[in-house]
Amino acid sequence: MSDFDLLIRNGMVVLPNEVKKVDLAIKEGRIIKIGEQLSGTASEELDVNGKTIFPGLIDVHVHFSEPGREHWEGFETGSRMMAAGGCTTYFDMPLNGIPSTVEQAAFEQKAEIGSRKSVVDFALWGGLVPGNIKDLRGLAESGVIGFKAFLSDTGNDEFERADDLTLLDGMKEIASLGKILALHAESAPITNWLLQEKKEKGLISADNYLETRPILAEAEAVERAIYYAQLTGCPLHFVHISSQAAVEKIEAAKQQGLAISVETCPHYLLFSHDDLVEKGAIAKCAPPLRKKDEQKQLIRLLREGKFDMVSSDHSPCPYSMKDPAKHTLFEAWGGISGGQFTLLSMLELALEHEIPLTQIAKWTAEMPAQRFNLETKGKIEVGMDADLAIVSFEPFTVREDNFHAKHKQSLYVGHTFPCTIEETINRGKTIYKNGKLVNHAAGKLWINRTETKPNPV
C-alpha cells in the first residue's frame, strides 16, 4: 500500500506567510505532509517544477440560477467554469433561481441538485425578503452559509428587495442565529428616482446609466446598514463594493468593533466605465463600473488592505437578454459573466502592483474561509483539505472556446492575463487540467451550522 494518494513535487507553494519550493503529500483528501524532497510512495506523483501552487479559490458570490433558470447557468456548467478558474469552493446566491432560496424546502431542493451536479465544493446562501422572517431559523438550521438581502431593486420578480422594517426585523433574527447578512448596498429611493428622471427624458446612454447609480447611492445604503447593525448586533458582509466613499464608511465601522467584512470584484479593478461606453451591455452591472479615477482608488484601497476578499459576482444570462438589437442598455440584464477569472485577475494585479502572492492567497482563499468558518479550507497547511490551484506564469487569452460558462459572451473575452490555471485539485482529486475537465467527482455541500465569529475579520 502506498504512503500517500498523491505526491506533488517541486512546486513553488504559496504558504500562509511565505512562498517556498516544497513537496505536498496528500492522503484521503487532506494535506498530511509539507516539506522538501519528501520520501515515501504515492499512488500518483505530479511534478510541477516551474509552477506555483495556490490554495484553491473560495468565491463567496456566484449566481447559478438553478433550479428554474438553468438556461442562464446551472450547477454543472457553472461549477466546471469555476474549476477552470482554480476555484474549489463557491457560495451560490439565493436569487435568480425559481424558487428563490427563501425557505427550507427551497434550500433542500437546491442542495440536492448541487450535490448531484457540482464538480467542486459549494455552500448556499439563504435570502432575506419581505415576509420570510419566520423562515430564517429553518434555513439556518438547514446549514445556509448566511443570508443575502438587497437594498435596491433586484430586477428579479421572485426576490424582492428588503424594506427598512424587513431589514431591522431580519437583522435582529439573523444576529440571534449567529449568522451573517450579505448586502447589496445601493439605495432604492435614490436609484429609482434617478432612473425615473432619465426615462422621462428618454436618456439611455452609458453615461446616463452610470448617473442613475451614483457613488452616493452606495455610500448612503452602506451607512444606513451600518446603523442598523449597531442597533441589532447583526454581522454584515458587503458585497461588490465599488467606491472609496463606501469603503471609508465600512473601515470606520470596523474600527468601532463592528463585525463587518467587505468584498470587491475583479471587474471593478480591471475595467472602468470606458468599457461600458465601448462594449455596451456586456459590461453592464450594478453597481456600475466606475470611472478610471475611482478605479485607481479601489486598487489603492485593495493594496492598503481595506478589502477582506475578492469575489466574482458571476451573474450570467442568455445573450438575448443583453442583445443591443433587442434591448436598450437600460433594459438589458445587469451582470458580469466572469467567475472563471478571479484568481487570474488578482495575479495580473499582483504582477502590475508588486503585491505579494501570499496576500493574493489571503484575499482569494484564507480570508473567505476564516470569515465563513470553513475550518478545513483556505490555506495550504497540514490537516487542511487538499484544495489547490496550480498556476503557470504563461499568458492566457480569453476566448469563447476556453471560457467554460454556459454562455460565452463576456467582458473578459479578448483579455490576456499574464498567467494560466494549469490544474485544479479539489480534496486531493484533479478536477481540471490543461484546459479540460478531467474528473466528474461530486462536489461536497458545505453545511454551516456554526455561529459566525463575533468580531471583524
Average pLDDT over residues 347-359: 98
Model pLDDT, residue 156: 86
Nearest to 33 by CA among 384, 444, 399: 384
CB 13 within 8 A of CB 34: yes
Q: What integer best gives the mean pLDDT of the chain?
A: 95
User: If you count DSSP H runs as helices and E runs as strands, how many of each does the chain have, helices first?
Assistant: 14, 20
Give dist(CA 409, CA 389) in Å, integer: 25
Residue 86 falls in which region: left (phi positive, over 0), alpha (psi -120 to 50) or beta: left
pLDDT at 454 over 60: no
pTM for the complete prediction? 0.96
Tell me the backbone φ, ψ of residue 164, rounded to 5 degrees: -65, -40
pLDDT range class, residue 281, cuts 50, 70, 90:
very high
State the pairing for strand pair 181-184/147-150. parallel
pLDDT at 209 over 70: yes
**Is it the case that residue 178 has pLDDT exceeding 60?**
yes
Which residues, at least 6 apart from 401, have a Cβ–Cβ distance to it below 8 Å? 408
Give the mean model confidence (pLDDT) for residues 241-255: 98
Instruction: Find the largest Cα–Cα distance for the chain.
Output: 75
All three cell numbers of 412, joined, read 473578459
Task: Flag whether pLDDT at 269 surpasses 70.
Answer: yes
Q: Is the pLDDT of residue 453 over 50?
A: no
Alpha-carbon dihedral sign for residues 223, 275, 414, 399? positive
CA 79 distance to own-chain centroid: 13
Distances in Å between the Cα of 323 and the Cα atoms of 48, 272, 276 are 43, 21, 14
Res 439: pLDDT: 79
- What's the residue count for the chain? 457
**Sheet strands side by side (includes 236-238):** 126-127, 147-150, 181-184, 236-238, 260-264, 309-310
Contact residues for 212 (Cβ-Cβ < 8 A; gap 6+): 191, 194, 195, 198
Which tops the pLDDT comparison, 1 or 250?
A: 250
Angle at alpha carbon of residue 94, lines to 93 and 95, rounded to 5°: 100
Instruction: Output DSSP code: residue 207.
Output: H
Q: How many CA atoms lie within 13 A of 113 on its CB side?
A: 25
Which pLDDT tens digit goes with each residue over 57-108? Answer: 999 999 999 999 999 999 999 999 999 999 999 999 999 999 999 999 999 9
- Return the pLDDT at 157: 86
**Amino acid 456: pLDDT:** 38
Quick one: average pLDDT of 192-215?
A: 96
pLDDT of residue 449: 64
d(Cα 102, Cα 126) in Å, to the nearest integer? 6
Task: Show Cβ contacts of residue 83 under 8 Å, excluding neighbours closer than 6 positions.
Answer: 119, 120, 404, 424, 426, 431, 432, 437
57's CB contacts (< 8 A; 6+ apart) are: 82, 85, 86, 87, 88, 89, 342, 343, 364, 365, 389
What SS3 class is residue 278?
Answer: helix
pLDDT at 450: 56
Instruction: Give the CATH fold of the 56-371 domain.
Output: TIM Barrel (3.20.20)
Measured CA to CA, the distance from residue 81 to residue 160 in angstroms comes to: 28
Q: From the CB of residue 21, how many other CB atoms can be counted at a distance below 10 Å?
A: 13
Domain ranges of the chain: 56-371
